[in-house]
Amino acid sequence: MESASVALGHEHEQHGPPPANRSSRVDAQLLGMLLFIISEVMLFGAFFSAYFFIRVVAGNDWPAAGTALPIAVAGCNTAVLVSSSLTMHWALVSAKNGNRFGMRAGLLTTFLLGATFLAVQINEYVHLGFAIGDSAQATIFYGLTGLHGAHVTVGLLLLSMATIRAFRGHFSPTEHRGVEVPGIYWHFVDVMWIIVYTTLYVL
C-alpha cells in the first residue's frame, strides 16, 4: 500500500523526497485506487465480453443443459457480502470519529463476512456438479466467479493488513487512509459481485 509512509507520519519523520505542491484537492492514494478500480472494471469487462459472446452471440443454453445454478444460496451469499460493505463503512466512520473499538470491530466483522462469502462460494463449487472444462457455459461461469473470488481474496488480504494495523494501534481521526483505501476496494468487490450475480444467476 502506498499510503504507507503517510499513514505512519506520526511515528517518524517524513522520508523520501520533499513534499510537492498539491495541485488538486483529490488525495493521491484515493485517485490511485480509483484508477486501479477502473482498470479492474475493464478486466471484468474482458470476461463479460467472453460471457456475452458465449451466451448471446454463440447462442448457447444458459445454464448448460442438465445443470442448475443455486440461485437461492448465492442470493444469501450476496446478502452476506452486501452487509460486509455496511460494516466496512462503519469501520471507516468509526476511524474518522476516533472510535477505536468501532474501527477494530468493523474491520474484523468485514473480514469475517468476506471470509464467509468465500467459504460459501468454495462450497458451492464443490457441489455444483459440473467442472470448468465441461462446457463453455461452465468455463465462463467459473471464469467470472473465479475472477471475482480472486478479487475477494485480494480484498481480504488488504483488509487483514488494515485489521492488523488497527489492532496494533495505527490510524487516527486525521490519518485513516489505511482504512479508507482498502474500503473503497472492498466496496468495488461488492458492487462487482452484484453485477456478476445478476448476469450469471438471475438473468
Partner 1 sequence: MTVAARLRAPGWYRAMLSVPLGIGFAFALVVPLRALSHYKPVVDGDAITTVALISTPLAFLIGIGCFDYWFRWASGAPTVPEDHSGHGARSWRDYFRVNTDHKVIGIQYIVTTFVFFIAGGIMAMLMRAELAAPGEQFVDSNTFNGLFSVHASLMIFLFIIPVFAGIANYVLPLMIGAPDMAFPRLNALSFWMLPMAGILMLASFFAPGGAFNTGWTSYAPLSVDMPLGQTFFNVAVQFAGASSVATALNFLVTIVTMRAPGMTFWRMPLLVWANFTTSLLVVIATPFIAGSQFMVLLDRALHTDFFNAANGGDVIMYQHVFWFYSHPAVYIMMLPGFGIISEVISTNARKPIFGYRMMAFSLMAIVILGFTVWAHHMFVSGMFPWLRVPMMITTMLIAVPTGIKIFSWLATLWRGVIHLRTPMLFALGFITMFTLGGISGVMLAVIPVDIHVSDTYFVVAHIHYVLFGGSVFTIFAGIYHWFPKMTGRMYDETLGKVHFWLSFVFFNLTFGPMHLVGIDGMPRRVADYAQHFAFWNAFISVSSFFFGMSLLVFLYNIVTSWRHGPKAVANPWRAHTLEWQVSSPPPIFNFDEVPTVVGGPYEYGVPGAVHGVFKEKPAVKEPAVAAD
Q: ∠160-165-167 over CA atoms, to 5°?
A: 95
**Torsional sign, CA 86, 118, 105, 80:** positive
Q: Nearest approach, Cβ of 72 to partner 1 (angstroms)?
A: 26
**Interacting residue with partner 1 among 70, 86, 130, 134 (CB under 8 A):** 134
Q: How far is CA 33 from CA 11, 81, 86, 158, 187, in A?
A: 24, 20, 20, 12, 12
> Should residue 122 be labelled a site residue for partner 1 when binding is judged by CB under 8 A?
no
Question: Between residue 52 and residue 71, which ones bind partner 1 under the rule CB under 8 A?
Answer: 53-54, 57-58, 60, 64
Q: How far is CA 157 from CA 29, 139, 162, 180, in A?
A: 18, 26, 9, 15
Instruction: Tell me which stretch binds partner 1 (CB under 8 A): 78-86, 115-123, 159-167, 187-195.
Output: 159-167
- Structure-block grid coordinates of residue 195: 453485477
**Torsional sign, CA 36, 173, 115, 63:** negative
Q: How far is CA 125 from CA 55, 70, 130, 142, in A?
A: 21, 10, 9, 8
> Should residue 46 be labelled a site residue for partner 1 when binding is judged by CB under 8 A?
yes
Q: Which amino acid, one-letter code, is at 130?
A: F
Q: Nearest approach, Cβ of 173 to partner 1 (angstroms)?
A: 15
Using CB atoms within 10 A of its CB, is residue 154 exposed (0-12), middle (13-18) or buried (19+)? Answer: middle
Shorter beta-carbon distance to partner 1: residue 20 or 203: 20
Shorter beta-carbon distance to partner 1: residue 77 or 166: 166
> Should residue 45 be labelled a site residue for partner 1 when binding is judged by CB under 8 A?
yes
Shorter beta-carbon distance to partner 1: residue 29 or 84: 29
Q: Nearest approach, Cβ of 62 to partner 1 (angstroms)?
A: 10
Q: Nearest approach, Cβ of 57 to partner 1 (angstroms)?
A: 6
**Interacting residue with partner 1 among 10, 15, 129, 203 (CB under 8 A):** 15
Site residues (vs partner 1, CB under 8 A): 1-2, 4-9, 11-24, 26-28, 31-32, 35-36, 38-40, 42-43, 45-47, 49-50, 53-54, 57-58, 60, 64, 132-140, 142-143, 161, 164-165, 167-168, 170
